[in-house]
């Protein structure tokens, strides 16, 4: 049993959306295929992943360092103890050879995307959905059949009116979601408050969170905290620079409702710094690491273990991404929930074509692996890469 090839390609997301900090007109993502010599149903098992959304394609580092290291390694050194499957932990160790400490984001996306594709292959070799394989390894075998999921929406779009955002939110509620998130920081504060009020009028009992995408300096972050307080939001996400732990702590001391961050933290140590120095309140604030961008699933397991040593529970963890990778990870680790991006990010947003949303939960597929095979437009891109 061995990995015979690892291929990658950069694909544009083709999105005209924007948050408060940047637009997605140039955004790309790396699609990875890990091709094995294992045959299932007459075809070689191939593991797939992409490097989520919001960070550009990262093929150069894969081609120069991480793919050659795996392909040059002795195949038996990358297998589990019984030799009947790939060992993602050993493969992560192989990719990290001759890598200096720190400087995480220079390599964490490239390594993490390959890691997630390796897990997809490992689950297919084991003939299990990834969330089941992860639950057996990381969550005491507790395998859910559905997962809480909220919509990351409320983007800023050219020419958009408040009525447009209200219509968008009505569509999400009609689709079965019970929690939505909207962007803030793209308009002056008073207008953003009116935009939130407009959305609140259509939400009924549904929960609302907001996301500032790291836009604010200290004064604006605090001004928004004050203005947002009366709304009793589910959370106030990424108010400021992702590693400004002093400002996080200051915000946590004046803003009672939950704060959220983590999609721009790439190492276990950065997340540990957040809970040690950022004033992040245990079982109140939210942590949103994006696993393919932060060294992948093996490292995510180490981060969860670190957080549990600090007394955190998994219900505070909501992986970023809005895709089938983060859905499987949220379900497999027994986390608080996952994000969903219905209708945005082209072929890369959303879940399996037959996934059902009901009462805020998304059904999980029984397809072996992550389940990209059930997401026809995305799978077409992946299959072409492996062909």
For Mg ion, the binding residues in 160-199 under the rule CB under 5 A are: none
In the chain, at which residue ranges do the beta strands (DSSP E only) sit?
3-12, 28-40, 43-50, 146-152, 179-183, 207-211, 236-237, 259-261, 286-287, 338-340, 357-358, 361-363
User: Could you tell me the smallest distance in angstroms from the CB atom of residue 66 to Mg ion?
Assistant: 26
- Residue facing Mg ion at closest CB distance: 211
Q: Closest by alpha carbon to 99, among 87, 88, 111?
A: 111
Between 130 and 240, name the residue whose CB sits nearer to Mg ion: 240
User: Could you tell me the smallest distance in angstroms from the CB atom of residue 320 to Mg ion?
Assistant: 6
Binding mask 260-299 for Mg ion (x = CB under 5 A): ----------------------------------------
User: Could you tell me the smallest distance in angstroms from the CB atom of residue 288 to Mg ion?
Assistant: 7
- In angstroms, the CA 176 to CA 362 distance is 9
- Residues in contact with Mg ion, counted by CB under 5 A, come to a total of 1
Residue range at the interface with Mg ion (CB under 5 A); choices 77-85, 131-139, 191-199, 204-212 = 204-212
Tell me if residue 172 is catalytic.
no
The CA radius of gyration of the chain, in Å to the nearest whole number, is 20
User: Could you tell me the smallest distance in angstroms from the CB atom of residue 42 to Mg ion?
Assistant: 42
Q: Closest by alpha carbon to 369, among 165, 153, 124?
A: 124
Q: H or E stretch including 26?
A: none
- In angstroms, the CA 102 to CA 61 distance is 16
Tell me if residue 131 is catalytic.
no
- Residue 66: is it exposed, middle or buried by C-beta count within 10 angstroms (0-12/13-18/19+)? buried
| Residue that the structure tokens 């605090």 belong to | 222
Residue range at the interface with Mg ion (CB under 5 A); choices 90-98, 129-137, 161-169, 205-213 = 205-213
- Examine residue 115 and tell whether it contacts Mg ion (CB under 5 A): no
Contact between 36 and 5 under an 8 Å Cβ cutoff? The reply is no
User: Could you tell me the smallest distance in angstroms from the CB atom of residue 292 to Mg ion?
Assistant: 15
Contact between 78 and 97 under an 8 Å Cβ cutoff? The reply is no
Between 7 and 215, name the residue whose CB sits nearer to Mg ion: 215
- In angstroms, the CA 339 to CA 274 distance is 21
User: Could you tell me the smallest distance in angstroms from the CB atom of residue 213 to Mg ion?
Assistant: 6
Between 21 and 273, name the residue whose CB sits nearer to Mg ion: 21
Between 150 and 351, name the residue whose CB sits nearer to Mg ion: 150
Q: Which residues sit opposite 362 in a β-bridge?
A: 147, 357
User: Could you tell me the smallest distance in angstroms from the CB atom of residue 237 to Mg ion?
Assistant: 5
Between 345 and 372, name the residue whose CB sits nearer to Mg ion: 345
Residue range at the interface with Mg ion (CB under 5 A); choices 94-102, 209-217, 292-300, 359-367 = 209-217
Between 154 and 279, name the residue whose CB sits nearer to Mg ion: 154
For 175, which DSSP code?
T
Contact between 86 and 125 under an 8 Å Cβ cutoff? The reply is yes
Q: Closest by alpha carbon to 174, among 198, 206, 148, 144?
A: 206
- In angstroms, the CA 90 to CA 32 distance is 19
Between 80 and 105, name the residue whose CB sits nearer to Mg ion: 105
Residue range at the interface with Mg ion (CB under 5 A); choices 58-66, 191-199, 203-211, 224-232 = 203-211
User: Could you tell me the smallest distance in angstroms from the CB atom of residue 53 to Mg ion?
Assistant: 10
Beta strand 338-340 pairing with 357-358? unpaired
What SS3 class is residue 379? helix
Among the listed residues 104, 124, 128, 183, the single catalytic one is 183
- In angstroms, the CA 49 to CA 28 distance is 14
Between 185 and 332, name the residue whose CB sits nearer to Mg ion: 185
When binding is defined by CB under 5 A, the residue of 87, 120, 192, 211 that contacts Mg ion is: 211
Binding site for Mg ion (CB under 5 A): 211
Active site (catalytic) residues:
183, 320
């Amino acid at each position: 049993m061995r990995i015979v090839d690892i291929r990658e390609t950069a694909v544009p997301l083709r999105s005209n959306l924007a948050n408060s900090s940047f637009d997605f007109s140039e955004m790309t993502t790396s699609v990875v295929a890990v091709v094995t010599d294992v045959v299932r149903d007459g075809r070689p098992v191939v593991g797939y992943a992409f490097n989520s959304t919001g960070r550009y394609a990262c093929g150069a580092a894969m081609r120069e360092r991480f793919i050659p290291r795996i392909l040059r390694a002795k195949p038996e050194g990358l297998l589990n103890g019984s030799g009947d499957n790939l060992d993602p932990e050993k493969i992560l160790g192989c990719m990290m050879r001759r890598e200096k400490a720190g400087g995480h984001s220079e390599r964490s996306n490239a390594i993490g995307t390959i890691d997630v594709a390796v897990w997809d292959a490992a689950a297919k070799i084991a003939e299990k959905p990834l969330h089941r394989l992860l639950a057996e390894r990381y969550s005491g075998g507790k395998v859910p059949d559905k997962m809480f999921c909220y919509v990351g929406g409320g983007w800023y779009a050219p020419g958009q009116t408040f009525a447009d955002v209200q219509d968008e939110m009505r569509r999400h509620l009609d689709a079965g979601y019970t929690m939505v998130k909207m962007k803030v920081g793209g308009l002056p504060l008073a207008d953003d408050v009116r935009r939130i009020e407009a959305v609140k009028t259509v939400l009924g009992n549904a929960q609302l969170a907001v996301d500032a995408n790291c836009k604010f300096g200290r004064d604006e972050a605090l001004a928004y905290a004050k203005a947002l307080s009366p709304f009793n939001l589910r959370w106030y996400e990424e108010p400021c620079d992702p590693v400004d732990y002093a400002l996080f702590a200051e915000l946590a001391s004046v803003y009672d409702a939950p704060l959220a961050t983590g999609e721009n933290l790439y190492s276990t140590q950065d997340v540990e710094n957040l809970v040690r120095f950022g004033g992040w309140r245990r079982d109140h604030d939210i942590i949103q690491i994006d696993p393919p961008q932060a060294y992948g699933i093996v490292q995510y397991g180490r981060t969860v273990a670190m957080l549990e040593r600090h007394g955190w529970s998994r219900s505070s963890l909501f992986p970023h991404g809005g895709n089938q990778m983060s859905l499987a990870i949220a379900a497999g680790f027994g986390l608080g929930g996952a994000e969903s991006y219905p209708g945005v990010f082209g072929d890369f947003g959303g879940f399996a074509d037959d996934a059902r949303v009901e009462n805020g939960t998304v059904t999980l597929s029984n397809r072996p692996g992550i389940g990209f095979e059930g997401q026809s437009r995305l799978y077409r891109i992946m299959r072409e890469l492996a062909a």
